């Protein structure tokens, strides 16, 4: 089986280097027309980079079609303009990979509010703005594939990255809502949590690990998640050839009788409430209410 992107138009944000560049090159190699979006050259988002133009030249030299875009994902108007140019050139947009990101790492005690806001704006608002800019087009086409870039920091936390972690888990919530709203329009929305040796992580990995965690090793997972037969509502970890699935789970819950619905009653039941018994992935936020109603109905039936 060969997965092709012939006839598809893809936008990849933050595609001037690292993981985004790997995505753009592989999409183009498989037939997609690619918008290569990139703004800054430094990992804190400052500076200007001509890297997008270089990636476009790579794609064209290999016989593919691509255009560069220097729009800032944190500015909604620039995302609308980017989508309009893609549609003008190629007639639609079928795939969006929200990959653009910056880091401004400090402990929460030392972090300035501006650094918190900047990271939230690029990662969370930037992904929301780009997704909003393509949303109506995808609805009209009755086809769309959107990939959010979450992180193990969002899923599990990481010292010194409160801004980044907040943004990355926020993207999971965004994806889980958009997958529900997009389902009737054949819009599939997934998340990827990549681990790669890039300009964002070059001072974190030892040299040998840096090479093993190549951006190219992330691309197979990402491209599958934006392919025609992609799943939806998936969270996939990828790095160094290791691929994992992650879930937001909910256990069956514990019903406390009215007399135990106190702080002390909750404390006494905490071992049961926090136990991993009957955990199941959540497919919708309403499941918490459904579980509660099921337990109430079962208790009522016993009486």
Helix 126-141 × helix 76-90 angle, to 10°: 30
Instruction: Using the structure block, give the residue that is written with the tokens 């995808």.
Output: 138
Residue 2 to residue 228: CA distance in whole angstroms? 12
Contact indicator for 66, 28 with CB cutoff of 8 Å: yes
The two tokens of residue 78 are 């620039």
The catalytic residue among 23, 143, 164, 179 is 164
Q: How far apart are CA 232 and CA 179, in angstroms?
A: 7
Q: CA 17 to CA 24: how far, in whole Å?
A: 10
Q: Is 23 among the residues known to form the active site?
A: no
CA distance 302 to 236: 42
Cα-based distances in Å from 33 to 5, 97, 281 = 9, 13, 35
Can you give the length of the chain in residues?
Answer: 303
Q: At how many degrees (to 10) do helices 126-141 and 162-182 cross?
A: 10
- Which residues are identified as catalytic? 164
């Amino acid at each position: 089986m060969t997965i092709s992107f012939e006839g598809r138009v893809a936008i990849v944000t933050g595609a001037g280097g690292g993981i985004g560049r790997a995505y753009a090159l592989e999409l183009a190699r498989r037939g997609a027309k690619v918008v290569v979006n990139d703004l800054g050259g430094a990992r804190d988002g400052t500076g200007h980079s001509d890297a997008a133009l270089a990636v476009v030249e790579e794609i064209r030299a290999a016989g593919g079609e691509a255009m560069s875009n220097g729009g800032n994902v944190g500015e909604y108007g620039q995302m609308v303009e980017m989508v309009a140019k893609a549609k003008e050139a190629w007639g639609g947009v079928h795939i969006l990979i929200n990959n653009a990101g910056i880091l401004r790492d400090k402990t929460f005690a030392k972090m300035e509010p501006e650094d918190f806001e900047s990271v939230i704006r690029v990662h969370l608002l930037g992904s929301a703005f780009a997704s909003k800019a393509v949303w109506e087009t995808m609805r009209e086409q009755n086809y769309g594939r959107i990939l959010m870039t979450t992180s193990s920091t969002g899923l599990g936390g990481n010292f010194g990255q409160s801004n980044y972690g907040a943004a990355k888990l926020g993207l999971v919530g965004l994806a889980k809502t958009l997958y529900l709203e997009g389902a009737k329009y054949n819009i599939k929305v997934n998340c990827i949590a990549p681990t790669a040796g890039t300009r964002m992580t070059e001072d974190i990995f030892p040299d040998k690990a840096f090479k093993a965690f190549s951006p190219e090793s992330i691309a197979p997972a990402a491209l599958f998640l934006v392919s025609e037969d992609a799943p939806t509502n998936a969270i996939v970890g990828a790095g160094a050839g290791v691929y994992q699935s992650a879930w937001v789970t909910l256990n069956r819950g514990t019903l406390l009788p009215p007399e135990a619905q106190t702080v002390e009653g909750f404390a006494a039941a905490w071992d049961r409430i926090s136990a991993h018994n009957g955990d199941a992935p959540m497919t919708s936020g309403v499941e918490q209410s459904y579980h509660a109603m099921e337990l109430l109905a079962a208790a009522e039936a016993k009486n």
